């Protein structure tokens, strides 16, 4: 039963056009998405290194660009110091007066910047000029990285990250150094040293847009002078992973842009040409994978949006398309003899309208055919009956039976007299001058005549009784519906007895029904046979012959049920019930009103 339900649901599911479309679209899009997903994933895996390194190269270039701006800014700042009138004056042997020193301080104070901590001007006679008190051991100074930074450049601005051995902090700091050359006369150059703070790197920090990456700036000795880690973590050079990151850079520095991909992520670096600083960008494995996941997520999102749009589209489109089909389908499914008046009313401007019109024509045609068939059947029956009547020639038959009755009376043959009398009554009611319907009382008289004849024939095999509610005596009913039932009582009910049989026939009223019962005390009807007979009242008319084939002797009963259903419709009841000793058959015929013609 469950399997049947599943089949039915699946059949219904497949039967729906909308669902079929959704199923197809789902399959196509899923295949497409799956294929694209796999393809893109494959391609991305292949191109991941190239793509990401390009991206990180761009990030590095941004930082380098910011660094170049810093270099330009420092170039311009140191220009001011070098061209300062008083600074130039320190290069000559001219005496620097206290007033000059004051003016120098004041004018150099104008060059203050947020990233500038201190300046130091050392003239070519090793005099020091600074806003701080600075004492310098020149022997040590000449060995320092700061002094070496001047190199043999004529007047190049050099930025460096080194230890502060001048201003007393002894901390690693940014310094910018530049020779101070005389504008007019050939002198030994002086030296300009500016100590800078971390504000110097503000442009570099501002150029950082991706917080998921790690950024480093290394000086030429591969010392980290700037770091920024994801989530604000602090750079710890002692950590093993961290050492590995920079080792990748340090071991492969060759002055050009490089990238390396290893199991822990991608390291990308670039050199700032003027300052020899190296900008390093590190993307951990998690970050590089996140990029792929993000793209895949985007793909899935696009797929689901596309799928959603497609499904909504299908629903909207199919509802416009399938609603009329469902309407046609339901109308056709509910088609029977009671819904002949139903019509399909469609106005979709599609071929469906044509189907609706064709259906309507078909219904009209079917109704016409059914009425035609019914009329022809009636006419045929009446014609057959008239033919029989003509063959029988009832008056001749009745006169002959009367003559026989008179001869039997003369010879005092009472049994023959009863038999002739019953036969004559049986035939008279049987023919009824060709009428299809007779009064209920006549129907009881007809079956009584039949039983009287059978009683004489079967030598006291059974007795019979009839009872009738007088109120239904005049109700008209189709004739010969009790005789086949009574015949079966004798034929099957009393097949196992020689005498003592009893048949009780009654006619009465139950509500809106005229009720006949035929009961016998013979062998109870077999269950299988009773089930077949009881199905006759509800089985399709066309299938009745299959339930009770003619060869199995059910013709009489089947004929009775068929005539009753054709005449009175499906409210007619006809059923058998096995009793403890015997069988009862009930026939219930619906009536419209009291007093005659109760079934029309």
Part in contact with another protein (CB under 8 A); list of ranges 89-97, 281-289, 378-386, 436-444:
89-97
b/e string for 268-296 if b means 16 or more Cβ within 10 A? Answer: bbbbbebbebbbbbbbbeebbeebbeeee
Can residue 79 be called a binding residue for another protein (CB under 8 A)?
yes
Selected from 107, 182, 506, 523, the binder of another protein by CB under 8 A is 182
Can residue 99 be called a binding residue for another protein (CB under 8 A)?
no
Sequence-separated (6 or more) residues with CB below 8 Å from residue 487: 450, 454, 556
Closest approach of another protein to the CB of residue 274, in Å: 7
Task: Give me the phi and psi of 174, to 5 degrees please.
Answer: -85, 135
- Quick one: 153 or 367, whose CB is closer to another protein? 153
Interface positions, 272-311, toward another protein (CB under 8 A): 273-274
Closest approach of another protein to the CB of residue 271, in Å: 12
Size of the site for another protein (CB under 8 A): 21
Distance CA 506, CA 443 (A): 11
CA 144, chain centre distance (Å): 76
280 bridge partner residues: 216, 269
Sequence-separated (6 or more) residues with CB below 8 Å from residue 400: none
- Quick one: 95 or 496, whose CB is closer to another protein? 95
Interface positions, 147-176, toward another protein (CB under 8 A): 153-156
Can residue 82 be called a binding residue for another protein (CB under 8 A)?
yes
- Quick one: 186 or 391, whose CB is closer to another protein? 186
Closest approach of another protein to the CB of residue 79, in Å: 6
- Quick one: 41 or 182, whose CB is closer to another protein? 182
> Residues, the chain, total?
600
Can residue 184 be called a binding residue for another protein (CB under 8 A)?
yes
Selected from 163, 181, 535, 567, the binder of another protein by CB under 8 A is 181
Sequence-separated (6 or more) residues with CB below 8 Å from residue 136: 122, 128, 166
Residue by residue, DSSP assigns 60-113 as: HHHHHHHHHHHHHHHHHHHHHHHH-HHHHHTTSSS---HHHHHHHHHHHHTT--
Selected from 92, 342, 523, 534, the binder of another protein by CB under 8 A is 92
Part in contact with another protein (CB under 8 A); list of ranges 32-40, 91-99, 323-331, 372-380:
91-99
Interface positions, 421-480, toward another protein (CB under 8 A): none
Task: Give me the phi and psi of 183, to 5 degrees please.
Answer: -70, -40
Task: Give me the phi and psi of 117, to 5 degrees please.
Answer: -90, -60
- Assign 391 to helix, strand or coil: helix
- Quick one: 79 or 545, whose CB is closer to another protein? 79
Can residue 83 be called a binding residue for another protein (CB under 8 A)?
yes
Part in contact with another protein (CB under 8 A); list of ranges 177-185, 410-418, 543-551, 559-567:
177-185
Closest approach of another protein to the CB of residue 115, in Å: 21
Q: Which chain residues interact with another protein by CB under 8 A? A: 75, 79, 82-83, 92-94, 153-156, 180-187, 273-274
């Amino acid at each position: 039963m469950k399997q049947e339900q599943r089949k039915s649901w699946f059949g219904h599911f497949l039967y729906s056009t909308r669902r079929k479309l959704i199923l197809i679209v789902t399959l196509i899009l899923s295949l497409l998405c799956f294929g694209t997903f796999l393809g893109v994933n494959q391609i991305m895996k292949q191109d991941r290194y190239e793509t990401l390194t390009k991206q990180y190269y761009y990030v590095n270039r941004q930082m380098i660009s910011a660094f170049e701006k810093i270099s330009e800014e420092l170039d311009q700042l140191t220009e001011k110091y070098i061209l300062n009138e008083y600074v130039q004056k320190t290069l000559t042997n001219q005496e620097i007066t206290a007033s000059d020193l004051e003016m120098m301080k004041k004018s150099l104070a104008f060059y203050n910047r947020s990233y500038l901590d201190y300046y130091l001007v050392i003239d070519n006679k090793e005099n020091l000029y600074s806003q701080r008190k600075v004492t310098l051991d020149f022997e040590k100074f000449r060995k320092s990285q700061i002094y070496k930074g001047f190199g043999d450049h004529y007047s190049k601005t050099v930025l460096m990250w080194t230890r502060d051995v001048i201003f007393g902090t002894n901390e690693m700091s940014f310094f910018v150094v530049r020779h101070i050359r005389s504008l007019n006369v050939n002198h030994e150059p002086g030296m300009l040293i500016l100590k800078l703070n971390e504000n110097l790197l503000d442009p570099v920090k501002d150029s950082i847009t991706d917080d998921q990456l790690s950024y480093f700036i290394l000086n030429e000795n591969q010392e980290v002078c700037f770091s920024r880690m994801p989530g604000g973590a602090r750079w710890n050079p002692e950590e093993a992973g961290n050492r590995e990151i920079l080792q990748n850079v340090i071991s492969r520095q060759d002055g050009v842009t490089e990238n390396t991909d290893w199991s822990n992520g991608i390291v990308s670096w670039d050199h700032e040409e003027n300052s020899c600083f190296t900008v390093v960008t590190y993307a951990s494995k998690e970050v590089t994978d996140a990029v792929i996941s993000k793209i895949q997520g985007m793909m899935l999102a696009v797929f689901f949006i596309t799928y959603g749009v497609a499904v909504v589209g299908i629903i909207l489109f199919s509802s416009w398309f399938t609603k009329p089909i469902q309407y046609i389908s339901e109308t056709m499914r509910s088609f029977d003899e009671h819904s002949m008046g139903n019509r399909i009313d469609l106005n979709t401007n599609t071929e469906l309208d044509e189907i609706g019109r064709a259906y309507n024509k078909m219904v009209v045609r079917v109704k016409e055919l059914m009425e035609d068939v019914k009329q022809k059947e009636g006419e045929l029956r009446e014609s057959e009956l008239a033919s029989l009547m003509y063959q029988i020639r009832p008056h001749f038959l009745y006169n002959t039976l009367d003559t026989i009755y008179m001869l039997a009376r003369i010879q005092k043959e009472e049994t023959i007299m009863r038999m002739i009398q019953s036969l004559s009554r049986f035939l008279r009611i049987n023919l009824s001058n060709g009428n299809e319907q007779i009064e209920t009382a006549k129907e009881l008289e007809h079956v009584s005549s039949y039983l009287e004849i059978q009683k004489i024939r079967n030598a006291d095999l059974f007795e019979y009784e009839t009872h009738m509610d007088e109120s239904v005596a005049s109700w008209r009913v189709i004739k010969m519906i009790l005789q086949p039932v009574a015949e079966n009582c004798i034929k099957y009910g009393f097949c196992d007895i020689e005498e003592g049989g009893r048949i009780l026939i009654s006619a009465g009223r139950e509500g809106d029904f005229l009720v006949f019962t035929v009961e016998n005390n013979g062998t109870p009807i077999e269950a299988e046979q009773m089930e077949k007979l009881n199905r006759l009242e509800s089985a399709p008319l066309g299938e009745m012959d299959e339930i009770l084939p003619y060869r199995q002797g059910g013709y009489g009963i089947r004929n009775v049920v068929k005539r009753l259903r054709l005449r009175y419709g499906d409210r007619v009841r006809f059923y058998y019930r096995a009793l403890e000793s015997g069988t009862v058959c009930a026939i219930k015929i619906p009536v419209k009103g009291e007093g005659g013609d109760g079934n029309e």
